Structure 1
């Protein structure tokens, strides 16, 4: 085809891959007004199966984009985890515990919903903003103009795309020039391979099968998350939407008929859902699982635990999600880690594209998310081994005991829920002054808390005042300070310098009888809805413990600076607003 007939377009960001990570990325970029294009090789979204678990922190992230209501309406909630172990003839119930062991979780449960439905939430949101996935398209070339890499406004990436089903008479090839490229194209990522980024780690010998179905069974905990250890192998039950469940079924690594003896790879032609269910029946004995009317979805996989050696090239091409980390799905981290990669990256791209920050800000994506991915793999190595290990019995005293498994389940609860993810000190995380808000951990997400709006006495959830709108939030806990005019003047100076990127929320320790929100200095009351107090609502049911919960002296007050992704960037004494300005100045340009 003559080059003159090839379509050429320019975009700010090209997202390659429309799984959960790519859709999270494209939706958030579009919401921020970025010119974004997203492509995928699949002709349509996932119809069934694949990933299905949303952890508590990820629900909070969905809420920050205005997407949680639909997720909660359509999904199933898991509140309890049940444990079965060998006993008598077959297995018996050993324990039941809360599924989520993260005390500050706003949503103290997991939500399960098949990946296709989760993708639909993003697709519909994107469609409302005029953005749709271009399908079926694959990239064939990616070239970088290294001479212009330092210019954030330059279209440094030239990507050749091939249309697998071009319109009649239309070109089958097009060229996209992009300022940035994000590869969210899965574990076999073309972007990663094209950039020669190595995956570091190894493949285990743990083989598992997965079956989604509406069960016919007398197993009493079929609607609970269940970890089953039996002498015949391990299983896990994940209850799902619409009466479905997912069974994870451990297969014999030594004699699994689905493994090709020569290549060592899975050959799904050798084993199907009926055989998988037959293996599960042995593990669930004496309980019965009848053959369902149909299987909704099934697969077989070998657990691999790998992390990419780097997450970007020159801060112009990035990889996220399964493209840069793979691990066991048993702890429900894959899709959550993937979407939160994008959540971390998007606001940083927005700041660079808007000219608010330099390219150096983008270095913090790899700094934060690669460290998290490495921690995830380290956790997964231990957890997968415990789950796949033989249970401790009278005959096998060296096996995995319930106490060992439960200890791991609860010890890592903050990590698996996403609530305890902690970013290291960097240009956007300053640990200094942590005692000013002793119970708010700098580098972790800002916890939820009910407050009361001073203007109309309405209870308000603090996290709902921290939407993912690409702005930092300054939470000014005024305490009993007498010199609020001075604080207000300093905040006013800060907003003059960085106001496009900063929103101010004031939180009083109490409401005086004759106090109105208009009594605050103007810079501390950007809107009537953003002046709150730490009291119970009019019915005495909600609120009234924020200062104590956050470890803030109600006399001295403090300032908490929350990043656009909901993580605490720094805290400061009330009288040291200048330290917040200095923090911004390390990575952000003044107006």
Structure 2
């Protein structure tokens, strides 16, 4: 291969290397935030088959926050049940039970559940297309057959801290069909390496992947089976005398089979370095194992319906660091690897960059201190470590030998069900909680006793006062880079509470108040709406309330005032205050741009919110 031509030089705010789900989530979010962004990938074309395919409930919520969930729901397959199968004395398998996302006997105050009571399966290429089409509307496209060849970061502290500097230097090679490449030097303010488990960016930074590798070898096949297996359209976790299997229904009639190789077969496919040699195996061998594992059920696999297959070893590792001087970041498989058994890989990757994108936008706009970027590694690396711990336990259970008369120490059905229920909040993504930090302040947790500061804002139906239209609160919290100030005002017919709300408004909007000090960013913008979306939620009846009951500063438009009341249908709504554990005295909930609760304060807590935003934001024009 030859590198030809004279190097051109360009600049960009954020350069992304790797156009998988993590990179595309970042590119889409940044482009929509108005950030100058480029995304490159060494592959000639995007994924068209196989790879990751599971979208968990919390990730569906994230897609919804970007306005992208409708396509995911239309194209994907919805999975409600997991079925569990164990070996029988006759040598076959039998179903021992089914479980769903909505667990029985959960207390009503437990808000960890999602509005989406299912997961979605859709091949990675289709998921990437959703991002690609959204990015295209912002004029951003993946530059393919382009890969970084050299990377350097300035060591000058003043340059690293200068918001207008471009301390990242990357040499890109753009390969053409003849094997020649044009060379480009890109100077970037920030760089993201989302370039997979063998990340070039991570290696250039000198970060290690710390953890361990098991001896479990699994195969994966995507095909369209012909079978009398009754749970072929449910997610199945199967323990058989011939090894463990997982069945995952996909879009259309496609089904994914995860099949565990025996110890003898695993040794056959591993080379001297302990890595899988795909040439020593075939999808037909995997399918033959699958037939034995599904006995006594019959299954055949038409040759022309096999679309993808692979082998892999289960390993659990986390990168030693996620960032270099908060100028170069890594995300997704570049910083954590684990088994696909709980369907977390793609979800964890996309939520990494969902977490990072708004923080980069705030710093690039000059709205926040660069210290805000430290919270990316603080939050997401701890999550990855928790994920690895969970994955280690779950994989051991799933890959372990089943309990039988001959193997009393094996894995029982009861152990699997208990683990499934215990880890449900984690696997669905709704149970993730970020630890206290400058953007997660738990001082007034008691004010909303059933909410968890540091977790995502859970779903509740509220009613718009002006026209009685019901809304899911999550739909009022889009990922548009704004902080949402959800004010639970209480009953404004009570004079003392109305006076308390007016005092809050006065303090929040004075020159030193957080709405004015951190919200007014440009002479062209109207007030603080560029940074803050204010949403009052009243106590009362939709039939008698007026949206004008709220102080004018909190209702820039008639559509922004809500009440915690039952919808006209009578089937939903009216439970927000009680479900969130908010008393009639009211509260203010600050929801971060990524949908997570940043802090909660009482209605007389405007001063505390001044302190909260002062911890990471820069004052605006009027400060």
1:84 maps to what in 2?
Answer: 85
2:183 maps to what in 1?
Answer: 173
1:263 maps to what in 2?
Answer: 273
- Do residues 552 (structure 1) and 582 (structure 2) align? yes
What CA deviation, in whole Å up to 9, does each residue of 1:411-433 have, x standing for no partner?
00000100000000000001111
**Alignment CA distance shift 1:363-1:166 (3 Å):** farther
**Alignment CA distance shift 1:546-1:335 (3 Å):** same
- How far apart are the structure 2 equivalents of 1:265 and 1:100? 39
Structure 1 segment 317-336 matched on structure 2, within 5 A: 317-336=328-347
**Stretch moving more, 100-109 or 242-251:** 100-109
Partners of 1:224 and 1:238 within 8 A in 2? yes
1:589 maps to what in 2?
Answer: 618
What CA deviation, in whole Å up to 9, does each residue of 1:96-125 have, x standing for no partner?
110455853110110000000000000000
**Alignment CA distance shift 1:235-1:513 (3 Å):** closer
Instruction: Classify the secondary structure of the residue corresponding to 1:504.
Output: strand
- Do residues 486 (structure 1) and 503 (structure 2) align? yes
Identify which of 337, 340, 357 aligns with 2:348: 337
1:530 maps to what in 2?
Answer: 560
Partners of 1:77 and 1:109 within 8 A in 2? yes
What CA deviation, in whole Å up to 9, does each residue of 1:539-572 have, x standing for no partner?
2122111000100012x00001100000001100
Runs in 1 of length 4+ with deviation above 6 angstroms? Answer: 1-4
**Alignment CA distance shift 1:36-1:390 (3 Å):** same
1:200 maps to what in 2?
Answer: 210
Instruction: Classify the secondary structure of the residue corresponding to 1:511.
Output: coil
Partners of 1:307 and 1:374 within 8 A in 2? yes
- How far apart are the structure 2 equivalents of 1:523 and 1:589? 23
2:256 maps to what in 1?
Answer: 246
1:118 maps to what in 2?
Answer: 127
Instruction: Classify the secondary structure of the residue corresponding to 1:174.
Output: strand
Structure 1 segment 105-184 matched on structure 2, within 5 A: 105-147=114-156, 148-165=159-176, 172-184=182-194
- Do residues 223 (structure 1) and 233 (structure 2) align? yes
- How far apart are the structure 1 equivalents of 2:577 and 2:407? 52
Identify which of 360, 369, 374 aligns with 2:371: 360
Instruction: Classify the secondary structure of the residue corresponding to 1:149.
Output: helix
- How far apart are the structure 2 equivalents of 1:220 and 1:4? 61
Alpha-carbon distance, 1:261 to partner: 4.1
Partners of 1:56 and 1:109 within 8 A in 2? yes
- Do residues 389 (structure 1) and 418 (structure 2) align? no
- Do residues 477 (structure 1) and 517 (structure 2) align? no
2:524 maps to what in 1?
Answer: none
Instruction: Classify the secondary structure of the residue corresponding to 2:286.
Output: helix
- How far apart are the structure 2 equivalents of 1:302 and 1:104? 32
Partners of 1:473 and 1:505 within 8 A in 2? yes
1:97 maps to what in 2?
Answer: 99
Partners of 2:333 and 2:349 within 8 A in 1? yes
**Stretch moving more, 68-77 or 86-95:** 86-95
**Alignment CA distance shift 1:418-1:100 (3 Å):** farther
Partners of 1:12 and 1:178 within 8 A in 2? yes
1:289 maps to what in 2?
Answer: 299
Identify which of 300, 303, 306 aligns with 2:314: 303
2:525 maps to what in 1?
Answer: none
- How far apart are the structure 2 equivalents of 1:454 and 1:334? 41
Partners of 1:185 and 1:191 within 8 A in 2? yes
Instruction: Classify the secondary structure of the residue corresponding to 1:94.
Output: strand
**Alignment CA distance shift 1:167-1:316 (3 Å):** farther
Give 5+ residue unaligned stretches, structure 1. Answer: none
Alpha-carbon distance, 1:166 to partner: 6.9
What CA deviation, in whole Å up to 9, does each residue of 1:167-212 have, x standing for no partner?
99x9611111100000000000000001110110011111100000
- How far apart are the structure 2 equivalents of 1:37 and 1:291? 43
Alpha-carbon distance, 1:221 to partner: 0.4
RMSD across aligned C-alpha pairs, in angstroms?
1.6
Identify which of 601, 606, 610 aligns with 1:572: 601
- How far apart are the structure 2 equivalents of 1:450 and 1:485? 26
Alpha-carbon distance, 1:521 to partner: 1.0
What CA deviation, in whole Å up to 9, does each residue of 1:47-79 have, x standing for no partner?
100000000000000000000000000000000
Partners of 2:65 and 2:478 within 8 A in 1? yes
- How far apart are the structure 2 equivalents of 1:142 and 1:551? 50
Partners of 2:175 and 2:181 within 8 A in 1? no
Partners of 1:258 and 1:269 within 8 A in 2? no
- How far apart are the structure 1 equivalents of 2:461 and 2:242? 48
Give 5+ residue unaligned stretches, structure 2. Answer: 104-110, 492-496, 520-529
What CA deviation, in whole Å up to 9, does each residue of 1:190-247 have, x standing for no partner?
0000111011001111110000011111111000000000111000000000111100
What CA deviation, in whole Å up to 9, does each residue of 1:258-315 have, x standing for no partner?
5234222111111111000011111111111112233111000001100000000000
Instruction: Classify the secondary structure of the residue corresponding to 2:161.
Output: coil
- How far apart are the structure 2 equivalents of 1:13 and 1:253? 46
